[in-house]
Structures are given as C-alpha cells and as structure tokens.
Amino acid sequence: MTISYSAVGAAASHADTITPALPAGAAAGQLAVLVVVSGHTDGSTPSTPSGWTNAGSLSGGGGTFGAGTGPRRVTFFVRELVGGDAAPTTAIPSGSAGSHIAGRIISLSRSAGTGWRWGAAAGEDTSSGTGFSAVSSTSLTWAAGDVAVLGYGLASSSASVSAEAIAATGITYGTVTERVDDSIATGHTARLAVATGSVSSGSGTQAATVSATLAAASIGVGGVLRVREASAALAVSAQTVFPPRNLLSLTGMLAEDITTVSLSRRVSGALTAVRASTDVDVTGQNALVRVDAEQPFGVAVDYQAVLTDINGVQWSVTSAQITSTVSSDVISDAVRGIGAAVIIQSWPSKKRDRGASVYTVGGRIVVVSRPRSGAQATITVRTMTTADGDALQSVLDSLTEGVLLIRKQTTMEGVDNHLAVVADTEDRRWFDEMRYWQLEAYETEPWPDALEAAGFTLQDIADNFTSLQDLADAFTPGTLLDIATFDFGA
C-alpha cells in the first residue's frame, strides 16, 4: 500500500473568492487536497466548496491583521475525485480592507485500500523570525506509510520557505519535498507554501511540529493533513438457513484507529439500524460481525457502516447489494433466529382506538381521549405442512418478549411488522396437513436494540466437527474471523 504525490494545479488568488484549477491529469480515485491561505479582519474561515470536505482550519500568528503582519489562516479541503470534477470555489466575506485568499490543489494517488482517510492539525508561530516552528494543538495517529501534507500561511509575502519539515515523538518521517511556495500580493499579502512527506517508521498518537526556514522574518500558522489509505470494508453474505438472514462482516478497522461503529440497513435510501449495532465500542478491534435477521424479502438492500476514529472524525463504508428471497410469507423470532413458512390468508382490518372516556355534563357530551393507539388486528395465516405447522407452534411457544416479526414474500408496506400476539387459535383439518391460525395481535415496537440477532453458534460448530483437530484442519490457514463468518448451514 503506497500513497504517491501526483501533481499540483495553478495558483489562484483574490480579495475574497478563488476557483483554483485541478492539477493536470487529475483522475477518478485520486485525493485532491486544496490548501488555502487567507487573511481577513475577523479571521473568517473560507467557505467549503460544493462536494468537498473541510478537513481542518486554523488562524494564528498573533498581532493585528495588517500589511505583512498579524494572523493568517490555513485551511485544508479534500475531495476524492470521481472523474469530470469541476474546479472548486471557496470564498471569504467581501468588503474587508486588505483581505485576501489564495490556494493551490495537489493530487495524491494510492496503490491499494478501499478509500481515503485523513486527519488535520495545526499550530501557530507568534515569534517573528526566520526559524518557523508551529506545534500542532491536536494529536493525530501516525503509522508507517501515512503521507503528511504540510501547509504554511505566513504574514510576510517575502518570507520564501525552505527546509520544510515535520517531527513527532516516536515517528520517523522520510524526505519532505516542497510542492508550492507562492508570494501572495493581494491585499495585506501573505505567503503560501505546501510540502509533502511520508512516515517511514513508527506509530502512535502524537502532536506534530511543523517547521521551516524563512528568507525573511515572519509569523504565521503551519498545519499538517495526515493522509492514509482506507482499509475498512463491509461485506454482506446470505446464510443458508430458514428464515433467511444476512451476515455482516466489517474488517480492517484497526489500521484506521476506529473506536465506534454503527451499522444500518438501507432500502430505497431509508436507513434502519441493525440490531445491537449502534455506537458499538470497537477500540482495539479489527473486525465486527453482526447478523441481520429482519431484512425485507424480495427487494434489494445494502448496508452502511458509520465509523468514528480516535480523533472523532466520521467515515462511512457501504456493502454490496443483496436480495433475500423466500417462497412463502414468514413469521419469525428474529432474536432467536427461528421461524415458520406461512401464507397470510386474511388481514381484513387494523383497528386503532384512543381509550376515550365519555361524560354527560349539563346536557352536553364531553369526550376525554388519549393519543391514538397502535393497530390491533385478527390475522389469519395458513401452514401447508406438518413441519411448517410445528415450526409456527415452536415460534409462538417461545417468542422473545412476546414479539414476532411477520414478513410478506415480497415486502409490502403495512404488512411487514413487529406484532405482540395475545392469543392464537389453531384450526386443524382431519383430512390433510394444512392448518389455519388466527392471531390476535397488536402492532408493537421491535425488540430492544440490546438483543442481538442470533447467528450460527458453538452448537453449530459442534454439529459439524467432531474434534478440535477437525476444526483446525478445516480452517488451516485461517483465523477466528473465518469461523465466525463460516456458513454452517450450507
């Protein structure tokens, strides 16, 4: 896995608005980094260009904003290019005496990974001199292969920059190469410099010091954008059991310093949390496995993982699409992983009431009512075989918290639902295996999020392997994750 510098675009400067050009050869999959230096009487942060992300911004240097003096701001904007990208526009408020904004875009390429990750930190040097040094106010995680994009915003336009460097305790950086050193003559003037380097060895969470040698004394701000190849990936696979359930496997988190994960199912753009998968603490973990036993049938779904890293930055990764199919309607206990094939025979009405009390007061009727209740209904379902009837009997016997999940063969709004069953009537026929069931049911909330949906268990391992040696032989070479994601129902 290697990140490499590609190219730099032309400079752009103005009193308040710029549209820097993308580097020549900019291509889909590259990371574009727009480094902006700006100056304004109120230290305004430049606006974020459409489709870009503000990765970090800091104003510093001390003093009062003026010609060659006072604070300047450095801002990092990032965007993963998709091809045919437009040049970005960013601006500060107009009408300020001496205001200015300037920027350049560099592009980076990666050899592997699933995407890009970044973190930014910056510090200020308030002591005017030719030896510039700014200690970052925020610590970043560092690992071998990370690329550091250094950005300098100086008050003096004549303070050309050389010997750009970065240092952090326990981290060894390779050669730092200057990419930009621009004198900004607009307004009260400034100097914009950009350099890149990479981590050759060492790892840890450290505050970096950005330094340089200046041709003229100046104050200003120096920042670093740490760039890393993303490794986290979310896979989904169908388990060969009935009722169908989807196994989610999120891997590659450790290299990205991920601390918290939330998993959601997405259907037609709408997100629903996967059971026991909200704000899961994964500090120090490389993988997370969850089962979705509540997915709709007959429609395409995918899954999204929202990842939060140690610096509080959030990212998201998405799985491939998957469609669960069945040849019947299904009633299940998704927490325990059991279910039965049924045919929804009749669901004629849904009744809702308000629990109202009616009073006659002075010849008038007064109604005091509560909020409208959830729906209640009598649902008739049919099982076609003895095995299906016995399976439904088992589900009804041991419902987790008395709640079942009913799903149509191809999902339908108003049918797929969680229901509390308060009574059921079984109607057997003496001449065949078919049974009719009347379920007195109330719509209810799903099971609590703390109840994780069941997947394959240690019992499944015991049913498939007779000894530890058999297990070792089947998964050599392999890891515990291979066992956790194995389809024991196949």
pLDDT digits (tens, 9 = 90+) for 45-82: 999 999 999 999 999 999 999 999 999 999 999 999 99
Q: Residue 52: which region, alpha, beta or left (left: phi > 0; alpha: psi -120 to 50)?
A: beta
pLDDT, the chain, mean: 94
- Tens of pLDDT, residue by residue over 202-230, are 999 999 999 999 999 999 999 999 999 99
Report the predicted TM-score, pTM, of the whole model to 2 decimal places. Answer: 0.86
Question: Average pLDDT of 332-355?
Answer: 93
Question: Average pLDDT of 317-335?
Answer: 96
Position 8 pLDDT exceeds 90: yes
Those residues with Cβ within 8 angstroms of residue 244's Cβ, 6 or more apart along the chain or in another chain: 238, 295, 297, 324, 325, 326
Please report the pLDDT score of residue 487 as a whole number.
87
- Tens of pLDDT, residue by residue over 236-278, are 999 999 999 999 999 999 999 999 999 999 999 999 999 999 9
- Tens of pLDDT, residue by residue over 115-166, are 999 999 999 999 999 999 999 999 999 999 999 999 999 999 999 999 999 9
Position 1 pLDDT exceeds 60: no
CA–CA separation, 60 and 210 (whole Å): 14
Angle at 313 between CA 311 and CA 319, to 5 degrees: 130
